[in-house]
Amino acid sequence: MLTERLIGGFVAAFGAVLLLVLIPMEVSDMRGPVNPALFPKAAAWLILLLGVVQILATARTSQDASPMELVRLVILAALVLGGILIMPVIGFLPTAVLMMAAVAAMMFERRLGWIAVTVIAVPAVTFTLFDIVLERPLPPMPY
Amino acid sequence: MPDLATILAGAADAATLSNLFFIILGVAIGQVVGAIPGMTILMALAIAIPITYTMDTLTAIAFLISVNKGGTVGGAIPAILINTPGTPESAATALDGHPMAKKGQPMKAMRYSLYYSVFGDFWSDIVLITVAAPLAIVALKMGPVEVTALMVLAFTVITGLVGNSMVKGLIAAALGCLCASIGLDPGQGTPRFTFGSLNLYDGLPLTAMSIGLLAVAEIFHQIAKTTKATAATAPIPMSVREDDGRLTLKDLLANRYVALRATVIGTLIGAIPGLGSATAGFLSYSITKQSAKDPESFGTGDPRGIAASEAANSAVVGANLIPLLTLGIPGNIAAALLVSAFIIHGIQPGPLLFKEQGQLIYGMFAAMLVANFANLAVGQIGMRFWAFAISAPNSVIYPASLLLCFTGSYVTAGGLFGVMIMLIFGVAGYFMRLFAISPIAFIIGYVLTPELESKLIQSVLITRGDPWKVLDHPIAIALLVLSVASIVYLGPRRRKGAKKAVDQPAA
pLDDT at A92: 94
Instruction: Please tell me the total number of residues recorded for chain B in this structure.
Output: 507
Measured between CB atoms, which of A32, A60, A72 is closest to B188? A32
Fill in the DSSP letter of residue A19.
Answer: I
Comparing CA positions, the residue from B378, B384, B506 lying closest to residue B42 is B506
- Residue pair B130/B326 in contact (Cβ under 8 Å)? The answer is no
Fill in the DSSP letter of residue A27.
Answer: B
Query: Does any CB of chain A come closer than 8 Å to the CB of residue B174?
Result: yes
pLDDT at A21: 93
For B351, other C-beta atoms within 10 Å of its C-beta total 22
CA–CA distance, B468 with B471 (Å, rounded to integer): 6
Using one digit for the tens of pLDDT, what is the confidence trace for B370-384? 999 999 999 988 877
Please state the rounded mean pLDDT for residues B161-169.
Answer: 75
| ipTM over the 0.90 cut-off | yes
Question: Given an 8 Å threshold on Cβ–Cβ distance, is B220 in contact with A57?
Answer: no
Question: Given an 8 Å threshold on Cβ–Cβ distance, is B465 in contact with A114?
Answer: no
Chain B (439-478) residues lying within 8 Å, Cβ to Cβ, of chain A: 449, 453, 456-457, 460-461, 465
Using one digit for the tens of pLDDT, what is the confidence trace for A10-47? 999 999 999 999 999 988 877 766 788 888 998 999 99
B191: which strand partners? Answer: B184
Task: Write a three-state SS string for B223-245.
Answer: HHCCCHHHHCCCCCCCCCCHHHC
Instruction: Determine the distance from the C-alpha atom of residue A12 to the mean position of all C-alpha atoms in its chain, rounded to a whole number.
Output: 21
Measured between CB atoms, which of A36, A73, A123 is closest to B192? A36
For residue A34, list chain B residues with Cβ-Cβ distance below 8 A.
187, 453, 456-457, 460
pLDDT at B506: 39
pLDDT at B240 over 70: no
Query: Does any CB of chain B come closer than 8 Å to the CB of residue A122?
Result: yes
For B502, other C-beta atoms within 10 Å of its C-beta total 12
- Residue pair B312/B318 in contact (Cβ under 8 Å)? The answer is no
Interacting residues of B224 by C-beta distance below 8 A, sequence separation 6+: A65, A69, A70, A72, A73, A76, B430
At residue B152 the predicted structure's pLDDT band, cuts being 50, 70 and 90, is: confident
- Residue pair B299/B95 in contact (Cβ under 8 Å)? The answer is yes
pLDDT at B86: 63
Higher pLDDT, B348 or A95: A95
- Residue pair B65/B240 in contact (Cβ under 8 Å)? The answer is no
Percent of chain B with pLDDT over 70: 89
Q: Up-side HSE of residue B374: CA atoms within 13 Å toward CB?
A: 29
Please state the rounded mean pLDDT for residues B42-57.
Answer: 82
CA–CA distance, A74 with A62 (Å, rounded to integer): 20
Closest residue of chain B to A48, computed from CA coordinates: B171
Percent of chain B with pLDDT over 90: 22
Interacting residues of B197 by C-beta distance below 8 A, sequence separation 6+: none
Question: Given an 8 Å threshold on Cβ–Cβ distance, is B54 in contact with A135?
Answer: yes
Query: Does any CB of chain A come closer than 8 Å to the CB of residue B235?
Result: no
Q: DSSP secondary structure string, B266-294?
A: HHHHHHSTT--HHHHHHHHHHHHHHH-S-
Query: Does any CB of chain B come closer than 8 Å to the CB of residue A93?
Result: no
At residue A58 the predicted structure's pLDDT band, cuts being 50, 70 and 90, is: low
pLDDT at B503: 41
**B16 phi and psi angles, rounded to 5 deg:** -70, 160
Interacting residues of B215 by C-beta distance below 8 A, sequence separation 6+: B42, B43, B46, B47, B401, B405
CA–CA distance, B41 with B25 (Å, rounded to integer): 15
CA–CA distance, A140 with A91 (Å, rounded to integer): 5
Measured between CB atoms, which of A50, A114, A138 is closest to B407? A138
Q: Is the dihedral of CA A37, A40, A46, A48 positive or negative?
A: negative
For residue B420, list chain A residues with Cβ-Cβ distance below 8 A.
84
- C-alpha torsion angle, residues B129, B132, B134, B137 (rounded to 10): -140
Question: Given an 8 Å threshold on Cβ–Cβ distance, is B495 in contact with A59?
Answer: yes
pLDDT at B500: 45
For residue A76, list chain B residues with Cβ-Cβ distance below 8 A.
220, 223-224
User: What integer best gives the mean pLDDT of chain B?
Assistant: 82
Domain positions in chain A: 2-55, 67-133
**Interface probe with B: pick from A21, A23, A62, A132, most Cβ of B within 10 Å:** A62
- SS3 at position B184: strand
For A27, other C-beta atoms within 10 Å of its C-beta total 24
Measured between CB atoms, which of B164, B178, B456 is closest to A61? B164
CA–CA distance, B463 with B63 (Å, rounded to integer): 43
Provide the whole-model pTM. Answer: 0.79
A-to-B residue pairs, Cβ atoms closer than 8 angstroms: 204
Question: Given an 8 Å threshold on Cβ–Cβ distance, is B174 in contact with A47?
Answer: yes
CA–CA distance, B349 with B214 (Å, rounded to integer): 21
**B287 phi and psi angles, rounded to 5 deg:** -65, -40
Please state the rounded mean pLDDT for residues B492-503.
Answer: 47
Interacting residues of B163 by C-beta distance below 8 A, sequence separation 6+: A61, B169, B172, B436, B437, B438, B440, B441, B494, B503
Query: Does any CB of chain B come closer than 8 Å to the CB of residue A9?
Result: no
Q: DSSP secondary structure string, B102-117?
A: HTT-HHHHHHHHHHHH
For residue A3, list chain B residues with Cβ-Cβ distance below 8 A.
435
pLDDT at A33: 67
Q: Is the dihedral of CA B92, B105, B384, B249 positive or negative?
A: negative
Higher pLDDT, A133 or B61: B61
Question: Given an 8 Å threshold on Cβ–Cβ distance, is A100 in contact with B170?
Answer: no
User: What integer best gives the mean pLDDT of chain A?
Assistant: 88
pLDDT at B502: 39
Distance from CA of A82 to the nearest CA of B (A): 11
Measured between CB atoms, which of A40, A59, A126 is closest to B178? A40
CA–CA distance, A119 with B180 (Å, rounded to integer): 37
For residue B434, list chain A residues with Cβ-Cβ distance below 8 A.
62-65
Fill in the DSSP letter of residue B191.
Answer: E
**B191 phi and psi angles, rounded to 5 deg:** -75, 145
Please state the rounded mean pLDDT for residues A108-115.
Answer: 89
Higher pLDDT, B58 or B274: B58
For residue A53, list chain B residues with Cβ-Cβ distance below 8 A.
167
B192: which strand partners? Answer: A27, B183
pLDDT at B41: 78
- Residue pair B159/B170 in contact (Cβ under 8 Å)? The answer is yes
pLDDT at A121 over 70: yes
